[in-house]
Amino acid sequence: MECFDRAEFWSREEIERAQLVRLRNVVGQAMRSPFYAKRLKEAGIAPETLKSLDDVRRIPCTTKDDLRSQYPDGLNTLPQCEMVRMHASSGTTGSPTVIHYTQNDLNLWADLMARCMHMVGVRREDVFQNITGYGLFTGGLGLHYGAERLGCLTIPAGPGNTTRQLKIMRDFRTTVAHIIPSYALYFGAALRDSGEDAKNLALRIALIGAEPHTEETRKRIEELLDVKAYNSYGLSEMNGPGVAFECVQQAGMHVWEDAFIAEIVDPDTLEPVAEGEVGELVMTTLCRQGMPILRYRTKDLTRFIPGECACGRHHRRIDRILGRADDMLIIKGVNIYPMQVEQILMSFPEVGENYQIVLERENYLDQIRVKVEIKEEHFVEDMRVLRDLQKRITNKLRDEVLITPRVDLVQNNGLPKAEGKAQRVVDSRES
């Protein structure tokens, strides 16, 4: 099998043998930080007490609050002069957390990223346009270094400015783009509306990730841009992107288990969920030196996909992220995930590329309003047609989420767009 790194095709036995050795190492390393020195001592954990991989569950979990309480460097295991980079989470929820990297950490991260990109067919002949924010956000530099490691001509285009992106894409015959899904939809729609045929572009692969999206959204991106789109998962606390990535089977994301231990637990009991069940993803860095993180509660909800992947890799696959545990909306006692709404909306051919979920309160009751853009050609004068569409969307949403939302049809480009990750939910209830 052609691969970037032999570890990609390790057997389960090889993976698990390496995991145990690396787990002991990383626990030893973590104990050099003030935070874990105390935390692990209190829990009676030392490297030699870890006899099998199951013993990872004896290690206390680390939370986002733990990281915040250690701001700015309480988890560092080495003096600052050993650190060569810092990033911070984009702070989608609450204040940011800071991650420090040694040169070795950066090299390993770039290798993981290159492995992901190589897996879906990116090669040195490719021209890679990185259409994401650089800066503290890990998505930009993460893929940038991966692409350079593969030898691609790497264009750090940065986010936004659709006209300029398109010009670069045409002039340099870009073949691979990294683009977040909400912007990919917008970008694809702009391309369509400009009358240019996506088939005339050299683009063949889109790497999409950093925010939750549905299979319907992927399909739309693939059609609009005439590409194969692959899901990319990561989080700053685990380097950034390069944690889990889809292979060409497009049937879930392989977690690189030679570099991380992934667990899926019940968020209330922290016990492992049954095979194939949805729970919270908990992750441990196995190779990080400057700032190891043990059993980090990602708050991301997903499941392990049972069975083997047709590609022959034995690194387990996680399913599309359903959302963060904090994304769940409770309206009139019903639990709703924004992705359920997206899935329904994107199944309507009339629906455009942007939507927003607004929480409102009326007469002390919570309501949900869904604002959705309608494509130019369907935003017709005839009110009966629009009203019928509105009704069909409302009914289908009601069947899915079990309460009746209000649905507003909005003109193409009528809703605000974010530069980075899309803000899908707006809470306008008075507190």
The residues binding ligand ADP (CB under 6 A) are 89-92, 137-138, 209-212, 231-236, 298, 300, 321, 324
**Closest CB to K ion among residues 150, 264:** 150
Contact track, Zn ion, 243-282, x by CB under 5 A:
----x-x---------------------------------
Backbone angles phi, psi at 77, to 5 degrees: -105, -5
Question: How far is residue 288's CA from residue 103's CA, in Å, rounded to a whole number?
Answer: 11
Question: How far is residue 291's CA from residue 30's CA, in Å, rounded to a whole number?
Answer: 7
Q: Which residue has the tokens 């869904």?
A: 370
**Closest CB to Zn ion among residues 183, 245:** 245
Give the one entry of K ion, ligand ADP, Zn ion, none that residue 311 binds, where binding means its C-beta sits below a cut-off of 5 to 8 angstroms depending on kind.
Zn ion
- Least Å from the CB of residue 243 to ligand ADP: 8
**Closest CB to ligand ADP among residues 77, 236:** 236
User: Counting contacts by CB under 5 A, is residue 190 touching Zn ion?
Assistant: no
Residue 206, C-beta contacts closer than 8 angstroms, at least 6 positions apart: 176, 177, 178, 179, 184, 221, 222, 225, 227, 228, 229, 230
- Least Å from the CB of residue 1 to Zn ion: 11
Of the candidate spans 128-136, 151-159, 242-250, 354-362, the one that interacts with Zn ion by CB under 5 A turns out to be 242-250
Residue 195, C-beta contacts closer than 8 angstroms, at least 6 positions apart: none
Pairing of strands 260-265, 279-285: antiparallel
Give the one entry of ligand ADP, K ion, Zn ion, none that residue 10 binds, where binding means its C-beta sits below a cut-off of 5 to 8 angstroms depending on kind.
none
- Estimate to the nearest angstrom the gap between the alpha carbon of 417 and the chain centroid: 19
User: Counting contacts by CB under 5 A, is residue 173 touching K ion?
Assistant: no
Give the type of residue at 162.
Answer: T
**Closest CB to ligand ADP among residues 31, 120:** 120
Greatest Cα pair distance, the chain, in angstroms, is 73
Question: How far is residue 176's CA from residue 207's CA, in Å, rounded to a whole number?
Answer: 8
**Closest CB to ligand ADP among residues 59, 210:** 210
- Least Å from the CB of residue 3 to Zn ion: 12
Give the one entry of Zn ion, ligand ADP, K ion, none that residue 124 binds, where binding means its C-beta sits below a cut-off of 5 to 8 angstroms depending on kind.
K ion
Question: How far is residue 139's CA from residue 113's CA, in Å, rounded to a whole number?
Answer: 11
**Closest CB to K ion among residues 32, 124:** 124
**Closest CB to K ion among residues 68, 124:** 124
Give the type of residue at 9.
Answer: F
Residue 261 has, within 13 A of its CA and on its CB side, a CA count of 28
**Closest CB to ligand ADP among residues 238, 331:** 238
**Three-class SS state of 107:** helix
Structural tokens at position 104: 């070795």
Among 124, 361, 387, 392, binds K ion (CB under 5 A): 124
**Do residues 139 and 241 touch, judged by C-beta distance below 8 A?**
yes
User: Counting contacts by CB under 5 A, is residue 311 touching Zn ion?
Assistant: yes
Give the one entry of Zn ion, K ion, ligand ADP, none that residue 129 binds, where binding means its C-beta sits below a cut-off of 5 to 8 angstroms depending on kind.
none
By the criterion CB under 5 A, which residues form the site for Zn ion? 247, 249, 309, 311, 313
By the criterion CB under 5 A, which residues form the site for K ion? 124, 151, 153
